[in-house]
Structure 1
Amino acid sequence: MNGRRHYAGGDLARALTIEDLRHMARRRLPRFLFEYVDGGAEDEVTLHRNRHAFANLALVPSTLVDVSNRSLAVDLFGRSVAAPLVVAPTGFNGLLSERADVALARAAARAGVPFTLSMASNVPLEEVASEAGGRLWMQLYWVRDRDFIRRLVARAQAASFEALVLTTDVQVSGGREWDRRNYRAGMALTLRNRLDVLAHPRWLWRIARHGGLPRFANLRELAPPDAATVVDDMVALGRNMDPSVNWEHLKWLRSLWPGRLLVKGVLSAADARSAIGHGADGVILSNHGGRQLDGAVSPLEVLPAIRDALGPEAVILLDGGVRRGVDVVKARALGATAVMTGRNGLYGVAAGGESGAARALEILRQEIDRALALLGTPDIETVDARVLHRRANSQSPATTSPLLEGVI
């Protein structure tokens, strides 16, 4: 042991990395809840593959370049964003911190980047819009009740949400086995986890003070009239998820929604072309953070082929495995318009509410800025595959994929 350890105290200013915020969150959250945020599906092969894909790429800096003035701004749907970041949709955030959805949205607005609200949020979309402002996107799961979809889309339009994000990779729930091991049956925690909750009195007091676990604020219409708890909401959502969703449904959604439309869950060039062909304005390469199909490819691995298929002007976002600013730079070099970040903000909001969420985005911004300076490429818009080198001796699962074939 070398004695090194990540900071896990209460001073957000001392959190130097996302990993520090992760340790702070782990200390503050009950075990079952941290597992929900942090874990992946089955053997977590895909969860780790997402990180390996970034680790397998090295950067080749240029020297004696004037980097005294640097720019992180990129164009996204015709408007400038302060950095190539978008806060990804994540559900049940109210478990982590009070009104966490608003906190994350406010942090994004302060950072000058878009925020995506999950359909499974704990704060109504109208309140997020009025209390946070900024560039707001709305995420949608496909459910059987088409009238509900119509109403939700109309609500998002009325609240001036800029974009709609259709998540397509949750036809059924992934096998999150480590998460499920925290429960005896249903939502009943094991004895060990009940005792662990008691060891986190601040979290328990906050939940009790607000009358129990927060409900899904935008899904009440799907639940039966006698639904009284979030468990009832979860059961109703599960029963309404529609595994028959297909490209014709995307065309119908396009007819309802006048704003920007993105398809999340794309991992092949063929699907990317189909998404654009059926009316999407952009695609989000995602394996759901390794929480759905274990063994799926990493979004970074398929990014070059999808960029080649869609052309230089297409909006292509990517999520999964991003923990450092250099990861964002690598994704940009391979053709991503911007990167979505989910868990990073959750670690921050769990560690310190809105200030913690802002700290997470600021850490990433600082790391991107520093990477551009040290890379000798002061404008992120000019970063491309010429700055990349694939490590020849990598032993990770990602090495079997032609990550940079035809790119470098």
Structure 2
Amino acid sequence: MVQRRIPKVRDLAPLMKFKKPTLDARKRRLQEAYTIYDLRAIAKRRTPTAAFDYTDGSADQELSITRARQAFEDVEFHPSILRDVSSVSTGWDVLGAPVALPFGIAPTGFTRMMQTEGEVAGAGAAAAAGIPFSLSTMGTSSIEDVARAGAGGRNWFQLYMWKDRDRSMALVDRAAEAGFDTLLVTVDVPVAGARLRDSRNGMTIPPTLTPKTVLNAIPRPEWWINFLTTEPLAFASLDRWSGTVAQLLDTMFDPTVTFDDLAWIKDQWPGKLVVKGVQNVDDAKRLAGMGVDAVLLSNHGGRQLDRAPIPFHLLPEVVREVGMDTEVHVDTGIMSGSDIVASIAMGARFTLVGRAYLYGLMAGGREGVDRTIEILRAQVVRTMKLLGVNSLEELNPSHVTQLERLGPRPVSTR
């Protein structure tokens, strides 16, 4: 029989460790977030539905983003054992300059609507972490304010080519004068995608107040207090807009843009040029032939063409065709450091995260963005160590198998 006794306090003390209470509510909730999905759950609780859904949603049935995330979840890693991984290096050169981590912050629109600190929080966090921050044409902080917030870091500017060419290039000139070193030209938005969540939520700039939105706001007073007591939304590219996001995109964006226009932009820009939104090998080869510095494989986070190609699946073939001469970057669907490591192993030079950054921002402002970067950094380091590699240069396709749930159906020869 088991012999029992009454425990003594001195025996229990070493076995019990009480957690110190954290009085700061923001710090407390961020400490309890261990993954990007945890940050997403916090963001959803704290942000009105229309603003959260603008970030979280994508186009039509949202198949593109679902498939992109599934592609990363279907990765099989192949670790090596008995390697000294007491320390690893997570940085290397991207576009001719060093980065501390193999990911940066992607350009996102209407960011201060998600959380009042907006792009300033993102740029400051990125500079502190030694990674690039990208400001969108549809960003809600000025080019100059972002440059100040990200002083000492690398700031990139994302351009949509408008119907008004002079206005577009005025933005490019401002970015160059403010010290932005890279221009990302987005080429997958000839028209706006069908973002049904935004339509159903009546997503407008500023928000449309209805009985439903007012009720939705009651348990989220901090968001509304911040929104109503800080500076009105000011865009990097325009002052005000009253209408839906889709109407704004259709008013501004030019469906006539061609490769010739891109060549013209390249001639105007003094820094590095990345083309964002590449979705097939032939276009990647043509861009490489034009001398762009990088192609960014992206389907716009699933927010444009639904059922678009999965960027991560495109990666090996594009790297094989153009990777010797042109850097290949990738985004869409990245929700963990393991996704980033898999991308680097398959040949990507760099990755960009958009939603992951916004979930952190909505969860806790600047501190939430810092937490996003911290989570991803820790996951990158842990994955590299478990794979048995000490540096990004050691990662290669032998470390990864891309398992596929969806494959092309054989074409009938009849």
Q: TM-score under structure 1 normalisation?
A: 0.89
Q: Which residue of 2 aligns with 1:406?
A: none
State the secondary structure of the residue aligned to 1:181.
helix
Matched, 1:194 2:206: no
Aligned partners of 2:347 and 2:409: how far apart in 1?
17
Out of 56, 67, 71, the residue aligned to residue 49 of structure 1 is 67
Of 248, 257, 273, the match for 1:245: 257
Measured at CA, do residues 171 and 96 of structure 1 come closer, stay the same or move farther in structure 2, by a change above 3 Å? same
Q: How many residues are treated as equivalent by the alignment?
A: 384
User: Identity across aligned pairs (percent)?
Assistant: 39
Q: Deviations over 1:1-26 (max 9, x none)?
A: xxxxxxx9952122111111111100
Contact 2:142 2:234 in 1 (8 A): no
Is residue 210 of structure 1 aligned with residue 230 of structure 2?
A: yes
SS in 2 for 1:11: helix
Structure 2: 5+ residue stretches without partners: 1-25
Alpha-carbon contact 1:329-1:371 (below 8 Å) kept: yes
1 CA distance for matches of 2:204 and 2:133? Answer: 34
1:382 aligns with 2:394: yes
Q: Determine the structure 2 residue equivalent to 1:160.
A: 179
Q: Map 1:388-407 onto structure 2 (within 5 A).
A: 388-391=400-403, 396-397=405-406, 399-400=407-408
Q: Is this contact kept in 2: 1:99–1:122, CA < 8 A?
A: no
* CA deviation after TM superposition for structure 1 residue 191, in Å: 3.5
Larger CA deviation: 187-196 vs 349-358: 187-196
CA contact (8 A) 2:203 2:245 kept: no
Cross-structure match for 2:6: none
1:46, 1:364 → 2: CA distance? 23
Closer, same or farther in 2 for the Cα pair 1:343/1:247, shift >3 Å?
same
1:4-403 alignment, distance < 5 Å:
10-133=28-151, 134-183=153-202, 188=208, 191-210=211-230, 214-220=233-239, 229=241, 231=243, 238-391=250-403, 396-397=405-406, 399-400=407-408
How many Å separate the matches in 1 of 2:387 and 2:272?
34
C-alpha distance 333-232 of structure 1, shift in aligned 2 (>3 A): closer
The C-alpha deviation readout for 1:23-55, integer Å capped at 9, x for no partner, is 110011011111110011111111100011112
Separation (CA, whole Å) in 1 of partners of 2:203 and 2:76: 45
Q: Which runs of 5+ in 1 are unaligned?
A: 1-7, 221-227, 403-408
Kindly provide the amino acid, as one letter, of the partner of residue 20 in structure 1.
D
**Is residue 346–residue 357 contact of structure 1 (8 Å, CA) maintained in 2?**
yes
Q: Describe the superposition over 1:62-84 as per-residue Cα deviations: whole angstroms up to 9, x where unpaired.
A: 11111112111121122221111
Aligned equivalents of 1:140, 1:321: Cα separation in 2? 22
Alpha-carbon distance between aligned partners in 2 of 1:401 and 1:334, rounded to the nearest angstrom:
24
Matched position secondary structure for 1:261: strand
CA distance in 1, matches of 2:277, 2:366: 28
How far 1:230 sits from its partner (Å)? 5.1
In the aligned structure 2, how far is the partner of 1:312 from the partner of 1:275?
14
Q: 1 CA distance for matches of 2:202 and 2:243?
A: 13
CA displacement, residues 70-112 of structure 1 (integer Å, 9 cap, x when unaligned):
1111211222211110110001010122231010011111111
- The residue type paired with residue 207 of structure 1 is F
Q: Secondary structure at the match of 1:306?
A: helix
SS in 1 for 2:158: strand
Contact 1:182 1:189 in 2 (8 A): no
For residues 63 and 279 of structure 1, the distance between their equivalents in structure 2, rounded to whole angstroms, comes to: 41
Q: Which amino acid aligns with 2:373?
A: L
Alpha-carbon deviation of 1:206? 1.2
Tell me, yes or no, if the aligned pair for 1:250 and 1:278 is still in contact at 8 Å: no
Match of 2:5 in 1: none
CA contact (8 A) 2:299 2:332 kept: yes
Using the TM superposition, give the Cα deviation of residue 178 of structure 1 relative to its aligned residue in structure 2, in angstroms: 2.2
Q: Is the 8 A contact 1:324 1:364 kept in 2?
A: yes
**Given the superposition, is the C-alpha separation of residues 249 and 113 from structure 1 closer, same or farther in structure 2, using an over 3 Å criterion?**
same
The TM-score with structure 2 as length reference comes to 0.88
Amino acid at match of 1:208: L
Structure 1 CA distance, aligned partners of 2:160 and 2:402?
A: 36
CA distance in 2, matches of 1:52, 1:237: 29
